[in-house]
Amino acid sequence: MKHSRFSDKIVFLCDEKGKILQLLHDGLDIKGIVKPGILFTSAVHQGSMGKALNFLLEIRNKEAAIGWELLVPHKESPAVLHFAGIKERCNILMVGAKTRPELHAFIESWIKNKYKDMEEERRDTKTPQARPAPDDNDTVYLDELTHLYNEISNMHREVAKKNVELEKLNELKNQFLGMAAHDLRTALWTIQTYSQFLSEEARDSLSEEQMMFLETIMESSESAKNIVEDYLDIATIEAGRLKLEMQMTDVAGLIRSNVEMNRILAARKRIRIELACEDLPELMIDAYRIEQVLNNLIGNAIKFSPQQTTIRVHAHRAEKQAVIRIEDEGVGIPEDVKSRLFQPFEAQRTKGTEEERGSGLGLAIVCRIVQEHGGRVWVESNVGEGSSFYVSLPVPE
């Protein structure tokens, strides 16, 4: 078989019992897991073993199965792959892809190639009169392929239709978020302004309890305003309207000033922030947005760290990248959360060590801002041992 679209897919051959016979292609670098000699049900993640067995049963009963989502162990965390299986005589051809469209495109290509191969086998240009008539098995096999091809074509049309609907709904969602957040921000600004006025002008005439109530109002409105700002930012980013104001910036100076500002917030929880910042070249960045990245990451480190711990901020140059690391001694991040940590509305809205709350959007915003700068962000973490978030930004030639 020849396939032109092998990237980000795994293709292998099984017997009828699901034993892997041959790994035909590994575009996902999981050859240490999906390997000849083991059962397919043993190669998937433990949580998908029952589902994988039902997948095999459907292939045996219907000769083919398409669109099964199974968890497969992959590097640091399990990956969701979309699988299809086609019975070929006594064996089963399996293919797994990262997305449904990639899977459908592969199967469609395979069917076209199979048709072509069968036609070439039948064609005898030298003695056309000697061409053998197709037997019943070939006719049945062609009928199965035709049915499968039609099914995939229908699925393609349905997926395209759903994608258009989802794009419209997503656009409406972004519009709603933007309008709602804008109106809420105005109301919260009013609450903050009048609360601050009362705190400054009427302090002497208020009781201790009344002052405590007023401080709670100011803190709550500030927290709510930050959440609203996150909603505005994510709506702007997802709508493709994020505009960066790029200029040459002293990144080392930006990091130092930002750390000094966050030390005030950290002091409330008796947390120390240590800074080790090498001399970095000036970078072409949007200083406001990169400071937003630092505030989010350092703020999260404070949020998820217990009292009397230390947060370490490191900045250095690594070849053509400026790398910033924010390391804490906090609660850490579970493996099942890491894979969706930087996705909007996917990360868990976990409470901080002192019940602090957030929007659950901060890391998604961080990721998009860094990506717009041509950089990347990632995390290393163990539960109970803290987390290290990394940001790398390109250094100009």
The CATH number of whichever domain residue 56 belongs to comes to 3.30.450.20
The pLDDT of residue 58 is above 80: yes
Neighbours of 372 (CB within 10 A): 15
pLDDT at position 284 = 93
Contact (Cβ atoms closer than 8 angstroms) between residue 65 and residue 59: yes
Q: What is the mean pLDDT of residues 80-109?
A: 84
- pTM surpassing 0.85? no
Q: Are residues 261 and 358 in the same domain?
A: yes
Residue that finishes a domain, picked among 60, 94, 122? 122
Is the residue at 52 inside a domain? Answer: yes
CA distance 259 to 265: 10
Domain extent at residue 105? 9-122
pLDDT at position 119 = 60
Query: Which residue, 360, 390, 69, is CA-closest to 230?
Result: 360
CA distance 73 to 188: 46
What confidence category does residue 168 fall into, taking pLDDT thresholds of 50, 70 and 90?
confident
Is the residue at 333 inside a domain? Answer: yes
pLDDT at position 249 = 93
Torsion of CA 212, 218, 221, 226, to 10 degrees: -120
Q: Are residues 221 and 266 in the same domain?
A: no
For the chain, count helices (H), then strands (E): 9, 12
Q: Are residues 272 and 385 in the same domain?
A: yes
Q: What is the mean pLDDT of residues 285-307?
A: 91
Q: Are residues 72 and 185 in the same domain?
A: no
Q: Are residues 368 and 253 in the same domain?
A: yes
The most confident of the ranges 63-72, 112-121, 287-296, 333-342 is 287-296
Is the residue at 263 inside a domain? Answer: yes
Is the residue at 341 inside a domain? Answer: yes
- DSSP structure class, residue 48: G
Q: What is the mean pLDDT of residues 333-358?
A: 66
- Residue 112, CB-side half-sphere exposure with 13 Å CA sphere: 11
The pLDDT of residue 311 is above 90: yes
The most confident of the ranges 147-151, 188-192, 213-217, 259-263 is 259-263
The pLDDT of residue 135 is above 80: no
Is the residue at 81 inside a domain? Answer: yes
Q: Are residues 58 and 178 in the same domain?
A: no
- DSSP structure class, residue 15: E
**Main-chain dihedrals φ then ψ at residue 243, nearest 5 degrees:** -115, 125
Q: Are residues 213 and 253 in the same domain?
A: no
pLDDT at position 2 = 40
Residue that finishes a domain, picked among 87, 122, 157? 122
The pLDDT of residue 115 is above 70: no
Q: What is the mean pLDDT of residues 211-217?
A: 85
pLDDT at position 141 = 52
pLDDT at position 346 = 54
CA distance 211 to 166: 49
What confidence category does residue 265 fall into, taking pLDDT thresholds of 50, 70 and 90?
confident
Position of tokens 């409105």?
A: 221
Percent of the chain with pLDDT over 70: 79
Is the residue at 37 inside a domain? Answer: yes
CA distance 145 to 135: 16
Number of structural domains in the chain: 3
The CATH number of whichever domain residue 345 belongs to comes to 3.30.565.10
CA distance 391 to 81: 28
Q: Are residues 251 and 389 in the same domain?
A: yes
pLDDT at position 88 = 79
Is the residue at 156 inside a domain? Answer: no
Is the residue at 136 inside a domain? Answer: no
pLDDT at position 263 = 92
**Main-chain dihedrals φ then ψ at residue 290, nearest 5 degrees:** -70, -35
Query: Which residue, 51, 19, 47, is CA-closest to 35?
Result: 19
- For residue 147, what are its two tokens? 């049915």
Q: Are strands 310-318 and 272-277 parallel, antiparallel or unpaired?
A: parallel
The pLDDT of residue 1 is above 50: no
pLDDT at position 23 = 87
Least confident residue range of 35-39, 153-157, 190-194: 153-157
Residue that finishes a domain, picked among 217, 238, 259? 238
Residue 378: which H helix or E strand, with range? strand 376-382
Q: Are residues 194 and 269 in the same domain?
A: no
CA distance 57 to 64: 10
Q: Are residues 175 and 103 in the same domain?
A: no
